[in-house]
């Protein structure tokens, strides 16, 4: 049997953090991309990092999507739980 439940304040805090970090992910990616693109940096270490960065860039898009999905899920769970317990709190 699956158990579902949570503390409303915990869900509010989690929602706030997920929402903020979802908004931060694209900017973080952009900041690194700009610095890497504009850097006068050559050599094996530069090549190694740029190669790794090219691998990681799509992960930031997935992270952004996952955080946004989780933020919406937490919001819905909070609001559903609040409604079922008679609380008037909504996110």
Query: In terms of pTM, does the model score above 0.85?
Result: no
* pLDDT score, position 62: 95
The encoded tokens of residue 91 equal: 């996110």
In 3-state terms, what secondary structure has residue 30? helix
Alpha-carbon distances, residue 37 vs 32, 44, 49, 57 (angstroms): 8, 16, 12, 13
- Cβ atoms 77, 11 nearer than 8 A: yes
Q: Name the DSSP letter for residue 88.
A: -
Dump pLDDT digits (tens) for 7-64.
999 999 999 999 999 999 999 999 999 999 999 999 999 999 999 999 999 999 999 9
Dump pLDDT digits (tens) for 65-87.
999 999 999 999 999 999 999 99
**What domains does the chain contain, in order, with CATH numbers?**
8-85 (1.10.287)
Residue 3's pLDDT band, with cuts at 50, 70 and 90, is low
The encoded tokens of residue 17 equal: 């953090």
Distance CA 40, CA 2 (A): 55
Residue 4's pLDDT band, with cuts at 50, 70 and 90, is low
């Amino acid at each position: 049997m699956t158990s579902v439940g949570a503390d409303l304040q915990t869900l509010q805090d989690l929602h706030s953090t997920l929402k903020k970090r979802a908004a931060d992910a694209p900017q973080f990616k952009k900041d690194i991309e700009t610095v890497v693109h504009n850097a006068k940096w050559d050599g094996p270490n530069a090549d190694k990092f740029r190669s790794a960065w090219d691998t990681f860039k799509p992960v930031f898009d997935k992270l952004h999507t996952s955080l946004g999905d989780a933020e919406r899920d937490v919001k819905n769970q909070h609001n559903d739980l609040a409604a079922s317990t008679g609380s008037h709190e909504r996110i």
